[in-house]
Amino acid sequence: MKLIIKPNKGFGKIEVEINEELWGEIERLSERYGVSPERIIEIALTGEFREPEGNLEELERKARELEEKTWELEKTYAPLRFKAYGLSEDNKVLAIELLGLVAENNQLKRFLRMKPERNLELRKLISYYLQG
């Protein structure tokens, strides 16, 4: 692969041939750290490496411990989220049924030549459950 480095100003440019293995490593680093491959190359050329502050092994151990705690919390709260989702879907179904019953009630009142009620609070509540 050919890498072309152009300056911000001027006409000079540098062309470098990069083998596939090196380019694959650059892309792997890019995905790992969430930056573009161009930024990885720029860091490598300018030497903007950051030295880790503190003991790197200790930081990695703490990160693993935090990850384990995160998974423990995830195991605890996943069933609760599932139940909450089920209740939310049940509420939507009930809101749809209630909306149908309100419409049917209004039709019956019209048929009996009664004044239909416009219950705005009930309609707001129904729309809340339909959205959630």
The C-alpha atoms of residue 56 and residue 47 are separated, in whole angstroms, by 20
Q: CB–CB of 41/26 below 8 Å?
A: yes
pLDDT in tens, 92-115: 999 999 999 999 999 999 999 998
Please state the pTM of the whole predicted model.
0.48
Lowest mean pLDDT across 26-35, 52-61, 88-97, 100-109: 52-61
Q: Two tokens at 127?
A: 């729309």
The C-alpha atoms of residue 61 and residue 65 are separated, in whole angstroms, by 6
Residue type, 35: V
Residue with tokens 């209004």: 106
pLDDT in tens, 116-126: 888 889 989 99
